[in-house]
Amino acid sequence: MNQISSFEAKVANGNGEQTLSRDIYRLGRRFDFYRMLSFYFTTVGFYFSSMVTVLTVYVFLYGRLYLVLSGLEKSILLDPRIQENIEPLQNVLASQSVFQLGLLLVLPMVMEVGLEKGFRTALGEFIIMQLQLASVFFTFQLGTKTHYYGRTILHGGAKYIPTGRGFVVYHAKFAENYRMYSRSHFVKGLELLILLVVYLAYGRSYRTSSSLYLFVTFSIWFMVASWLFAPFIFNPSCFEWQKTVDDWTDWRKWMGNRGGIGMSGEQSWEAWWRSEQAHLRKTSVRALILEILMSLRFLIYQYGIVYHLKIARHSTSILVYGLSWLVMLTVLVVLKMVSIGRQKFGTDLQLMFRILKGILFLGFVTVMAVLFAIGGLTITDVLACTLGFLPTGWCILLVSKTLYLSTINFEL
């Protein structure tokens, strides 16, 4: 699977560079309409369509997130005129959800095999493919094509990716899977997972039936599960306990190694991170601005969730959002204090470092106790704050990383 993913990434990078080339532009301008369609679908069209498919999922879920956090979906579904049409709407969604699973894309294959070998053989091969988790595999490769094609469109700089010709059936360590799929699948899968969880949690109180949510989001849940777990499902001996322990030990060693001269990405997390962000050092100002603007989408979670907290007492004042940023900055300052304390006192003055951590822990417990006793904070609010602040922290990391690498780019 890793070799196939590397090959798909290499081809997607090449198609991204072709899309940006003058040759594609000139051919597209001079072809007639039908030759242009043929040229599109036999070159970059498949990768562009794959990217549009994934972008549509993002637009759909962020639109749903806005509807549920702003209260528009609640007002629409509780409207008496809409209540009369809820059941017909569910029937429509149930029928189109069958096609949403991608069965229309399978139909040409079934027809081709049916004409050559018979429709009973075609149906049997289709069932065998599903039992072999072919849907999971190709959904995962959809993420590979989209990530590398989109990154090349935005930043350029495609490079050769070696795929190897060795023995393919072997146990890949978790560190290797993390290096290959962290940015292309795991991060995006977790983002979609948080979107689905927030949409489920804040719309449950007024939905009359859970089947409506299921029909709308079932295919997206399938895509999220494929992106997060496919590397482990198709990895031989992945769930063997001793292999798991060895992978965990190897991953911790890899995460703990500092980068430096002569260190490769397979030896150190820092060296891998620098190579993974190399495209930002050579990109244009327009691409950097677009990268920052796309990163700002993670601020939507915090802005919408803080007004639904019970401690906010249904207030719509901007001070609620301002206080949430004060909490966020306080957490960042505390983490920075722990980091500085570890550097200054961690080796020589361990007692001072432990005292510092103890003071910070007691202060945290005191503040939380006061908020629970007086402010009306609940466990649900704590979990909701986690869903709101984690994307904000990731946004700060992405923006600071982009700005830092852009300054290096301009200095060079």
* 10-61 pLDDT, tens digit each: 999 999 998 888 888 888 888 888 888 888 888 888 899 889 989 998 998 9
- The CA distances from residue 375 to 155, 188, 268, 381, in Å, are 48, 35, 45, 11
259 lies in some domain: no
| pLDDT given at position 146 | 92
Sign, CA dihedral 178-390-144-290, equals negative
Range among 65-69, 89-93, 340-344, 408-412 with highest mean pLDDT value: 65-69
Q: What is the pLDDT of residue 70?
A: 86
Domain contains 274: no
62, pLDDT greater than 70: yes
Residues 216, 290 within the same domain? no
Q: Is the pLDDT of residue 100 over 60?
A: no
- The predicted structure's pLDDT at residue 407: 73
CB 282 within 8 A of CB 159: no
Structure tokens at 213: 């949510």
Integer Rg of the chain from CA: 25
Domain membership flag for residue 254: no
Does any domain span residue 139? yes
- Whether residue 94 sits in one domain with residue 8: yes
- Separation CA 11–CA 47 (nearest Å): 10
Kindly tell me if the per-residue pLDDT of 118 is higher than 80: yes
**pLDDT digits over 218-259, tens only?**
888 989 999 999 999 998 888 888 888 898 898 888 888 876
Q: How is residue 32 annotated by DSSP?
A: -
Final residue belonging to a domain, choices 230, 254, 269 = 230
Do residue 102 and residue 192 come from a single domain? yes
SS3 116: helix
The token pair that represents 34 in the structure block: 């039908």
* Shared domain check, 131 and 28: yes
Mean pLDDT of 130-140: 88
Of 190, 206, 230, which marks where a domain is finished? Answer: 230
Q: In the listed set 230, 256, 272, which residue is the last one of a domain according to the structure?
A: 230
185 burial (CB, 10 Å; 0-12 / 13-18 / 19+) is buried
Q: What is the pLDDT of residue 347?
A: 62
pLDDT of residue 226: 93
Residues 205 and 319 in one domain: no
pLDDT at residue 132 tops 80: yes
Q: CA 42, CA 351: separation in Å to the nearest integer?
A: 67
Does the pLDDT of residue 135 top 90, yes or no? no
Provide the mean pLDDT of the chain: 83
HSE of 319 in the Cβ direction (CA atoms, 13 Å)? Answer: 6
In a domain, 243, yes or no: no
Q: What is the pTM of this model?
A: 0.86
362/344 Cα distance (integer angstroms): 21
CA dihedral 143, 149, 154, 160 (to 10 degrees): 120
- 164 inside domain: no
Kindly state the average pLDDT of the residues 144-169: 81
| Residue whose pair of structure tokens reads 């004042």 in the numeric block | 317
Instruction: Answer whether residue 105 shows pLDDT above 70.
Output: no
Ramachandran region of residue 150, left (φ > 0), alpha (ψ -120 to 50) or beta? Answer: alpha
pLDDT tens digits along 384-397: 888 888 999 899 98
Q: Is residue 242 part of a domain?
A: no
Tell me: do 211 and 110 sit in the same domain: yes
* Span 56-85, average pLDDT: 83
Q: How does pLDDT run across 169-213, given as a tens digit for each residue?
A: 788 888 889 989 998 999 999 999 999 999 888 877 666 666 677
Sign of CA dihedral 235, 239, 243, 247: positive
Task: Give dist(CA 334, CA 14) in Å, integer.
Answer: 45
Asked if residue 210 belongs to a domain, the reply is: yes
- In the block, tokens 């503040």 appear at 367
Q: What is the mean pLDDT of residues 288-312?
A: 88
Q: Fill in the amino acid letter for 380.
A: T
Q: Which residue has tokens 């429709």?
A: 119
106 and 34 fall within a common domain: yes
Mark whether 211 and 323 lie in a shared domain: no
For residue 411, the model assigns a pLDDT of: 54
Q: Write b or e for each residue in 266-305: b if 16 or more Cβ atoms lie within 10 A of its Cβ, otherwise e.
A: eebbebbeeeeeebbeebeeebbeebeeebeebbbbbebb
Residue labelled with tokens 């922290």: 393
Say whether both 226 and 295 belong to one domain. Answer: no
Count structural domains, the chain: 2
| Containing structural domain, residue 42 | 1-156+174-230
Q: What is the dihedral of CA 168, 173, 174, 179, to 10 degrees?
A: -70
Range 59-79 average pLDDT: 84
- Residues 304 and 398 grouped into a single domain: yes
- Same domain for 207 and 328, yes or no, is no
Q: Which amino acid is at 14?
A: G
Of the listed ranges 298-307, 341-350, 379-388, the one predicted with least confidence: 341-350
Angle at CA of residue 191, ends 190 and 196, nearest 5°: 95
**Mean pLDDT along residues 153-179:** 80
Q: Quick one: 294 and 150 in the same domain?
A: no
Residue with tokens 């966020």: 328
**Cβ-contact 268, 256 below 8 angstroms:** no
